Structure 1
Amino acid sequence: MQPWALVSPASRGIGLEFARRLLLTTKVPVVATARTDLDQTRERVLEGLKDVKEERLNVLKVDFLDEDSIAEAKRKVSELFPPKEHYLHLGLCIPGILFPEKSPDQINHDNALLSFRVNTIGPMLLTKHFWSFLPRKGSGNNEQPSGLPASAIWANMSARVGSISDNNAQGGWFSYRSSKAAVTQLSKSFDNYLRLTMKDNAMCVAMHPGTVKTGLSEGFWETTAEGKLFSPEYSVEKLMEMLNSRTMEHRGKCWDYKGDEVPP
């Protein structure tokens, strides 16, 4: 059985750097997704990677607001990597959108609904269509690919502000916090399912990248404490270190870029 990796989406920011790092530090083929401009995404991912074989990268269309696009991506992946011969070793599901409401008066119905559609329901649908690519129990012995976790992992992007027990001071960000808290619950529920269907062959975790200098956080760059605003490259490096050090005792939980648990 041959492994492959998924980064969705990978058009910019953290996803872009995840795709680049996987191509640089592993030998597995990578499926990267984008909502639009697939050729441009491919160029961005491969830019400057002179020693990487371009055929290792496949860029597919996935729109987290359109389940049909996710189903079509699954069909194409099944052709690229037939499940009888290949399995998904690392799935990174990392969509995100933020509307920073500071008071309840700023909650907008359409924006709040979009937050849940992108941050929560999108990952649910990607899980629905792609979970079966993970290695099932009895699927044979799969060697650990160099540069990747010992066991197959599905990792959802949550956030520290999605922690209910850690939300003691500022509040606000109602739709974002709530949608990310739901991602942590989704990850726990999915991991429970994997325990039953795949045992120790695969697990699910959630992850927190820190405050990263991307378009999502642009409004907060100037107010972020010194040394706490990370480049996408640094955040992805630390997140990969965290993922590669996970064991079955870490499954079903949310972990930050330092490897510390983010409480639910």
Structure 2
Amino acid sequence: MNLLPLNHPMFAARTLRSFARSPTFSSLSPNWEGGVSMVQGASRGIGLEFVKHLLENNEKGHVVATCRNPGQATGLLELKNKFDERLCILELDVTNETTIKASAKSIEERYGSLNLLINASGILSIPNVLLPETTLNKVEKSSLLHAYEVNAVGPILVIKHLWPFLKAGGGSGTEREVAVVANISARVGSIGDNRLGGWHSYRASKTALNQLTKNVSVEFARKKDPIICILLHPGTVDTDLSRPFQRNVPEGKLFTKEFSVQKLMTIINNAKSQDNGKFFAWDGQEIPW
């Protein structure tokens, strides 16, 4: 085999191409002023409100918004018309890892780093497919597996594939000291807080999300990566997810999307390294596991 000398121009070109494909190349990415944020599950509800808040409250920050069907995401498309240079919309289905990998590749090519990841997708009910179980007799294997796949497995796979870019970004370009992964969970996922039972699929899948997130936070800390993972309970928010179940919500406990997201962003923006692995309610109070 003929080896090129180290000073040969073709050797330098090959080396650069090889280096550009390596996982560490993103660590040399530019420092994006205002940071780069990603909201997964951004076509409606809390996810869409997060995208809107990030764009309107950080005039230099860039936002990547992902959803299953970008062409039908009218709310995102309206924001794209207003914030064309700072909003990137990508297709991502948490039940299809190929789309997660493709989104990660697009982020690598366009930005090279990431400072904030919000996993906002989630399912509670689907007419004629998945209904909250008020009794054990209504539990179906298909419902349990589907809720687990969307609410727990998907967000963790997203973190897995975006890990290199969160590590490269850290807190650079933002006022935060580290990159933040914020997984939208729910108080009903707390085992210690469970006094009513029921809602088996939703509760169990959110509990699984909590444990997986805690695992990831421990690993990031052990590796001394500049990333923290937190779990957030948004309260009961007036969205399509909660709408069929709002009848019994106490007065004053049904929040607007704007109110909830503002509260959650305050937690995210004030998160410190010591908050890694914690589970917060919308008002900043920690929730028991």
Q: 1:202 to 1:45 in 2, by over 3 A?
A: same
Superposed displacement of residue 40, structure 1? 4.0
Partner of 1:58: 88
Conserved? CA contact 1:46–1:54, under 8 Å:
no
1:154 is aligned, of 166, 171, 181, to 181
Are residues 129 and 49 of structure 1, via their aligned partners in 2, closer, same or farther at CA, if it must alter by over 3 Å? closer
Structure-1-length-normalised TM-score: 0.89
Structure 1 residues without counterparts, runs of 5 or longer:
none
Specify the alignment match of 2:15 in structure 1: none
Q: Which residue of 1 aligns with 2:201?
A: 175
What letter corresponds to residue 235 of structure 2 in structure 1?
G
Counterpart in 1 of 2:234? Answer: 209
Pick from 178, 202, 213 the counterpart of residue 187 of structure 1: 213
Q: How far apart, CA to CA, are the structure 2 residues paired with 1:106 and 1:76? A: 42
Using the aligned pairs only, state the percent identity.
39
Secondary structure of the 1:188 match is: helix
Question: Within 5 Å, which residues of 2 pair with 1:44-193?
Answer: 44-45=75-76, 47=78, 53-82=83-112, 87-98=113-124, 99-136=131-168, 143-145=172-174, 149-168=176-195, 170-193=196-219
Note the C-alpha offset of 1:49: 8.8
- Distance, in Å, in 1 between the alignment partners of 2:171 and 2:152 is 31
- For 1:198, what is the secondary structure of its paired residue? coil
Change (3 A) 1:65 1:262: same
Residue deviations 1:126-180 (CA, integer Å, cap 9, x gap): 11111111135xx8x954525xx44210111111000001112x10011111110
Q: CA RMSD in A?
A: 1.9
Q: Which amino acid aligns with 1:202?
A: I
Answer yes or no: is the 8 Å Cα contact 1:135–1:198 preserved in 2: no
Structure 2 counterpart of 1:31, one-letter code: V
Partner in structure 1 of residue 47 of structure 2: 15
State the distance in 1 between where 2:283 and 2:91 align.
32
SS of corresponding position for 1:263: coil
**Runs of 4+ displaced beyond 4 Å:** 141-144
Q: How much has 1:119 moved relative to structure 2? A: 0.3
* Aligned length in residues: 250
User: How many angstroms apart in 2 are the aligned matches of 1:154 and 1:188?
Assistant: 11
1:220 aligns with 2:245: yes
Give the secondary structure class of the aligned counterpart of 1:129: helix
Whole-angstrom CA distance in 2 between matches of 1:15 and 1:53: 17
Question: 1:237 and 1:245, CA in 2 relative to 1: closer, same or farther beyond 3 A?
Answer: same
Cα offset, 1:55, TM superposition:
1.4
**Structure 2 CA distance for partners of 1:119 and 1:250, relative to 1, 3 Å:** same
Match for 2:157: what amino acid? L
Query: Structure 1, residues 216-256: CA drift from partner, whole Å, max 9, x if none?
Result: 11122121000000111111011001111211221101111
Structure 1 distance, partners of 2:171, 2:184, is 26
Quick one: structure 1 residues 113 and 48, their matched pair in 2 at CA, closer, same or farther if it must change by over 3 Å? closer
Of 31, 43, 64, 2:64 maps to 31
1:50-109 CA-partner distances (Å, limit 9, x unpaired): 8x5311000000011111111111111111112xxxx21110012111131100011111
Secondary structure in 2 matching 1:55: coil
Q: Is the 8 A contact 1:206 1:253 kept in 2?
A: yes
